[in-house]
Amino acid sequence: MTASTAAPENPVALVTGATSGIGLAVARDLATRGHRVFLCARNADAVEETVAKLRAEGLQAAGTTADVRSKEQVRALVAAAVATYGPITVLVNNAGRSGGGPTAEISDELWYDVIDTNLNSVFLLTREVLKQGGMTQAAAAGGYGRIINIASTAGKQGVLLGAPYSASKHAVVGFTKALGKELAPAGITVNAVCPGYVETPMAERVRSGYAAAWNTTQEDVRERFESKIPLGRYSTPQEVAGLVGYLTTDLAASITAQALNVCGGLGNF
C-alpha cells in the first residue's frame, strides 16, 4: 500500500520548453496554483523574458537555458532547479518539435532530431529527476510525485506526412504507460496529455509545411484541419494546461499510466 498522496505545500515543478505555446501556458497555470516553477528553453532571452513576465504577475518562477537533447545540459538543468527551489515534485516534459514530409525524402538529420527532441529528452529528463532531482526521495517521504509528458493525438494514430513526429509521440505514450506502472507503488503518477490541433507558434509552422506540400494556402490547411474536429476549432494552450494542472492535484491521485486527449473530439481513443 502506498503512502498518502497529498500534494506538498508549494510543490516544485520543472517545465521544459516553457517560453511559448503550451509550455508557457502550463508554467503559468502551475504557478497560479501555487507551484514554484523552474522552466527552461534554448533561447536565453526568451527564458529571461518569460521569468520576468511571470514574476511581474506575482508568480514564483525561475529558469535557465537548456537543450533537452543533451545529457550534460539536462543534468545541469535539474541541478539548477534543485539548487533554486529544492526537490522536484512535478516534472512536465513539454519540449518538442514538429517534423515530417514524404518519408522517402526525410533526412537522417531530421529523423534523429525529432526523436532526440520529442522522445529521448523525455527519458533523459525523467531519469535525471528520479535519480538526482529529489523526486524519488520526496515521494518516499510524502507519497507524492507527478510526471506529465506532453504527447499528442499523433501518439495514438498515424499522421499523414508526419512519420517522425508520430513515431516519437507513440513512443512517449508507451514510455508513459510503462513508467506509470513502475512508479505507482511509490505514489508517483505518470501520465501523457495528448493535444490535438492547438493554436501555437508550432501550429503555424505545421500549417506552413502542409501548405507547401499540398501547394495551397495556410488558411486552406487550417480549414481542412478544423473540418476534422467535431468542436470545429483548435484547442487553446490554456485548455491543455488545465488538464496538466488537474493531474498535479490530490483529486487526480488515482490517475496514472494514461494518455488523455485534449482535442475537441478529434480523437476518441
Residue at grid coordinates 516553457: 18
Residues 148 and 162 occupy one common structural domain: yes
User: Does the global pTM surpass 0.85?
Assistant: yes
* pLDDT digits 0-9 by tens, 6-16: 888 899 999 99
pLDDT > 70: what percent of the chain?
A: 98
E strand or H helix at 92: strand 90-93
pLDDT at 4 over 80: no
Q: What is the mean pLDDT of the chain?
A: 95
From first CA to last CA, the distance across the chain in angstroms is: 31
Residues 132 and 27 occupy one common structural domain: yes
CB 8 within 8 A of CB 142: yes
* pLDDT digits 0-9 by tens, 148-167: 999 999 999 999 999 999 99
pLDDT at 205 over 90: no
Is 4 inside a domain boundary? Answer: no
Number of DSSP helices (H) and strands (E) in the chain, helices first = 10, 7
Is 66 inside a domain boundary? Answer: yes
pLDDT at 2 over 50: no
pLDDT of residue 5: 61
**Of 67, 189, 160, which Cα lies nearest the Cα of 120?**
67
Residues 188 and 204 occupy one common structural domain: no
Is 81 inside a domain boundary? Answer: yes
Total count of domains within the chain = 2
pLDDT of residue 202: 82
Is 5 inside a domain boundary? Answer: no
Is 117 inside a domain boundary? Answer: yes
CATH of the domain at 29: 3.40.50.720
State the average pLDDT over residues 129-154.
97
Residues 37 and 123 occupy one common structural domain: yes
Q: How far apart are CA 209 and CA 205, in angstroms?
A: 6
Q: How far apart are CA 166 and CA 152, in angstroms?
A: 8
Residues 137 and 210 occupy one common structural domain: no
Q: CA geometry: angle at 113 spanning 105 and 261, to 5°?
A: 95
pLDDT at 125 over 60: yes
* pLDDT digits 0-9 by tens, 41-94: 999 999 999 999 999 999 999 999 999 999 999 999 999 999 999 999 999 999
Is 183 inside a domain boundary? Answer: yes
- 165 tagged catalytic: yes
State the average pLDDT over residues 224-231.
93
* pLDDT digits 0-9 by tens, 166-200: 999 999 999 999 999 999 999 999 999 999 999 88
Residues 216 and 112 occupy one common structural domain: no
Residues 172 and 64 occupy one common structural domain: yes
Residues 167 and 71 occupy one common structural domain: yes
Residues 56 and 186 occupy one common structural domain: yes
Torsion of CA 40, 45, 50, 53, to 10 degrees: 150
**Which of these is catalytic: 165, 197, 210, 234?**
165
Sequential DSSP letters for 74-85: HHHHHHHHHHHH
pLDDT at 1 over 50: no
Residues 80 and 205 occupy one common structural domain: no
Residues 226 and 148 occupy one common structural domain: no
Q: Enumerate the H helices of 60-186 as residue ranges.
A: 71-85, 108-115, 121-131, 135-142, 163-183
Owning domain of residue 216: 198-234
Q: Please state the separation of Cα 156 from the chain's center in Å.
A: 16
Torsion of CA 62, 65, 70, 75, to 10 degrees: -40
Is 191 inside a domain boundary? Answer: yes
Is 6 inside a domain boundary? Answer: no
Residue 255, SS3 per DSSP: coil
CB 78 within 8 A of CB 128: yes
Residues 207 and 144 occupy one common structural domain: no
